[in-house]
Amino acid sequence: MVVLSLSFIAYTLTQQVKPNVRQVVEDTLAENANIIAQLIAEDVHQQQVNTPEFDQKIQAALSRQLDATIWQHKKDQINQQLYITNQQGIVIYDSEGQAVGQDYSKWNDVYLTLRGKYGARSTATNPNDRSSSVMHIAAPIIYKQQLLGVVSIGKPNQSVQPYIERAEQQLIHQALWIAALSLLLASMVAYWLKHSIDRVRRYAQALAPVNQAPFFYSAKELNQVTQALSDMREKLEDRAYVENYVNTLTHELKSPLTAIQASAELLQDDLPLEDQQQFATHIVQQSQRLQSLIERMLLLTRLEKNQHVLEFQMLDLSTLIQQCFQQQQSALQRKRIQLRLDIPEHCSIYADPFWLKQALNNLLDNARDFCPEQGLIAVQVKEHSVINSTEIFLFNEAEAIPEYALKRVFETYFSLPRPHNQQRSTGIGLSIVQQIIQQHQGKISIQNISKNALDFLGNHSSGVLVTLTLHTNFT
């Protein structure tokens, strides 16, 4: 389409070159004719135009040699001719020496000029050759307010053809350049538009939330489409999230509520005091489980639905880990669990203290629950200044996690039975940990460790190792 449009424009412009050039030539000839008419008026009045002296003067002027380069075209001679008629239109002088005595009163240039009008004509000297046309522009010869005749200056149209051809070539070259640049620009715009639309398409088709919607500095409409898609996706996600939240919470609440109901019904019977205490304890345990489930569900929801709740600051990791172990101290002592810490002094990290502490406490809860009595829990911290990261290793002696469970440990509500009582947790703790670490732009992994496989512990039983990788500082 661009090429066709430019071709049409170029064709139209080239068709205008020839008439425009001839209009300029006509304007020049009209001025020259009036100047010459004024100069020869006295000679015509004195009937000197048919003398040899007058002819020599005209011939000398018309045959004068030129040395001019006009628009890169070499011009070395004057390409004009003239003839003079009397009041009746009879030629009394012809610079070509061919038309003297002929009646030119019917030619437009002479006919119109004798009647006080602008006279001009273009006539081919060879009827079979259109390029042989000569343009004639006439002017009245007036002497003392008396019309004596007409002088007509002629110029072959072929003499200006080089200028016409050069102008046409320049227009064609410029049109080709414009076409090439237009095609290049159109290709770039098409590529940008396709790429931009493709970004919007990928954004619309993405099933998982993306960090940031695409933004286009020069496409307000695409930004509006992206925003509309973002709003629609958010509404759909909210609806799906609430639906999934309610279904899951209902399912998870059913088990402890059923246990509480069964224990409460049994307590209505006349039972021995020991049985009553057992069922009452069971109700308390299930109530605590319900409370823990609800609290962790709210915590997980806060993390999942608010992607920018973290408040980062530089903090002492050693102090934070010590605080976590102090909170767990009584529970660890009940199981007589051994602790081993290998943490550099003044180990700083850029993190949110509240949420990182939540993550470490959840990991310690898991480690304590699965660690046998008199077992070992160890923490090692390694700083890697070159790659701007810090690794936290948390090991606890325990039975190996089944292979199928290793792939699901971070799934919400997935949990394994505790070895000492076969009870299951809410299954939310590790999901919270994963969310926290991801929002710190870090990584978390869990693996089984064979006996004596960790150098920093020396002799130890088999167990489970959790590895956290966090940025020391964001740059």
Q: Is residue 234 included in any domain, yes or no?
A: no
Q: Burial level of 268, CB count in 10 A (0-12/13-18/19+)?
A: exposed
For residue 312, name the pLDDT band (cuts at 50, 70, 90): confident
Chosen domain end from 166, 196, 217: 166
Q: Which whole number is the average pLDDT over 72-101?
A: 86
Write the pLDDT tens digit of every residue in 400-415.
999 988 889 888 778 8
Residue 329 belongs to some domain of the structure = yes
- Which pLDDT score, from 0 to 100, does residue 153 have? 92
Helix (DSSP H) and strand (DSSP E) numbers for the chain: 11, 14
* CATH number for the domain harbouring residue 343: 3.30.565.10
Q: Is residue 251 part of a domain?
A: no
For 231-267, the pLDDT digits (tens) are 666 665 656 555 655 655 665 566 667 777 877 877 7
What is 341-400 written as a DSSP string?
A: EE--TT-EEEE-HHHHHHHHHHHHHHHHHHSPTT-EEEEEEEEETTTTEEEEEEEEE-PP
Is residue 374 scored above 80 in pLDDT? yes
Q: Does 369 reside within a domain? A: yes
For residues 64-75, give the mean pLDDT: 71
Choose among 33, 3, 304: nearest CA to 149. 33
Q: pLDDT for 14-33, tens place per residue?
A: 556 667 767 878 888 888 89
CA-closest candidate to residue 425, choices 296, 239, 235: 296
SS (HEC) of 447-472: EEECCCCCHHHCCCCCEEEEEEEEEC
- The structure tokens listed for 401 are 């996690």
Average pLDDT over residues 344-356: 86
For residue 398, what are the domain limits? 310-471
Q: How confident is the model at residue 106 (pLDDT cuts 50, 70, 90)?
A: very high
The total domain count for the chain is: 2
Among the candidates 166, 199, 224, a domain finishes at 166
* 187-208 confidence digits (pLDDT tens): 888 877 777 777 766 666 664 4
> Mean pLDDT throughout 151-172?
77
Could you tell me what percent of the chain has a pLDDT over 70?
77
Q: Domain for residue 276, yes or no?
A: no
* Mean pLDDT for the stretch of residues 166-187: 78
Kindly tell me the burial class for residue 310, based on how many C-beta atoms sit within 10 Å of its own C-beta (0-12, 13-18, 19 or more): middle
SS3 13: helix
Position 228 in a domain: no
> Is pLDDT above 70 for 349?
yes
Nearest alpha carbon to residue 43 among 59, 32, 54: 54
Burial (CB count <10 Å: 0-12, 13-18, 19+), residue 101: exposed
As given in the structure block, the two tokens for residue 58 are 């005209």
If we measure between CA atoms, which residue out of 321, 327, 356, 361 comes closest to residue 341?
Answer: 321
List, for residues 117-129, the tens digit of each pLDDT value: 999 998 887 778 7
Strand 376-384 vs strand 338-342: parallel, antiparallel, or unpaired? parallel
DSSP category for residue 136: E
Closest CA to 138 of 26, 20, 18: 26
Cα separation of 166 and 91, whole Å? 37
The answer to whether position 348 is within a domain reads: yes
Q: Mean pLDDT for the chain?
A: 80
Q: Is the pLDDT of residue 72 over 70?
A: no
Q: Name the pTM for this structure.
A: 0.46
Within a domain: 304: no
* Segments of 144-249 assigned E as strands: 146-156
Three-state SS for 422?
Answer: coil
Give the end of a domain, one of 166, 186, 221: 166
Mean pLDDT, residues 297-317 taken together? 73
**pLDDT confidence of 10, banded at 50, 70, 90?**
low
